Amino acid sequence: MNDGYSVGIVGATGAVGKELIRLLYERNFPIGNLRLLASARSKGKTITYEDHSFDVEEATPESFDDLDIALLSAGSGITKALAPEAARRGCVVVDNSSAFRMDEEVPLIIPEINPEAAKAHKGIIANPNCSTIVALMALYPMHKAFGLKRFFASTYQAVSGTGADAIVELDNQVKALVNDQPVEKEVYPHQIAFNVLPHVDVFLEDGYTKEEMKMLNEGRKIMGLPDLKVSCTCVRVPVYRAHCVSIQAEFEQPVEVAAARDAVSNFPGSELCDDVDNLQYPMPIDYSEKVNCGVGRIRKDSALENGLSLWVSGDQLWKGAALNAIQIAELLHERGWVSIKA
Ligand SMILES: NC(=O)c1ccc[n+]([C@@H]2O[C@H](COP(=O)([O-])OP(=O)(O)OC[C@H]3O[C@@H](n4cnc5c(N)ncnc54)[C@H](OP(=O)(O)O)[C@@H]3O)[C@@H](O)[C@H]2O)c1
Residue 224 lies in a domain: yes
> Based on the domain organization, do 155 and 85 belong to the same domain?
no
Residues 189 and 108 in one domain: no
Rg, C-alpha atoms of the chain: 20
**Residue 67 sits in a domain of what CATH number?**
3.40.50.720
Cα 141 from Cα 134, distance rounded (Å): 12
What is the span of the domain harbouring residue 303?
131-316
Ligand 1 atom 31, closest CA: 39
Residues 305, 179 share a domain: yes
Separation of CA 7 and ligand 1 centre (Å) = 17
Give me the CATH number covering residue 200: 3.30.360.10
Residue 340 lies in a domain: no
- The reply to whether ligand 1 has any atom less than 6 angstroms from the CB of 13 is yes
| Same-domain status, 154 and 31 | no
**Cα(16) to centroid(ligand 1), Å:** 7
CB 301 within 8 A of CB 333: no
Q: What is the pLDDT of residues 112-152, one digit of tens each?
A: 999 999 999 999 999 999 999 999 999 999 999 999 999 99
Q: What is the CA angle 40-52-285, rounded to 5? A: 85
Distance of alpha carbon 267 from alpha carbon 264, whole angstroms? 5
State in Å: Cα 163 to ligand 1 middle. 7
Closest residue by Cα to atom 24, ligand 1, is 74
Active site residue 121: no
Average pLDDT for 162-176 = 98
Answer yes or no: are the C-beta atoms of 192 and 171 closer than 8 Å: no
Q: Is residue 247's pLDDT more than 90?
A: yes
CA distance 281 to 165: 30
- How many domains does the chain fold into? 2
Decide if 293 is catalytic: no
Q: Which of 243, 273, 293, 333 is catalytic?
A: 243
Furthest CA-CA distance within the chain: 62
The verdict on residue 146 lying in a domain is yes
270-323 tens-digit pLDDT = 999 999 999 999 999 999 999 999 999 999 999 999 999 999 999 999 999 999
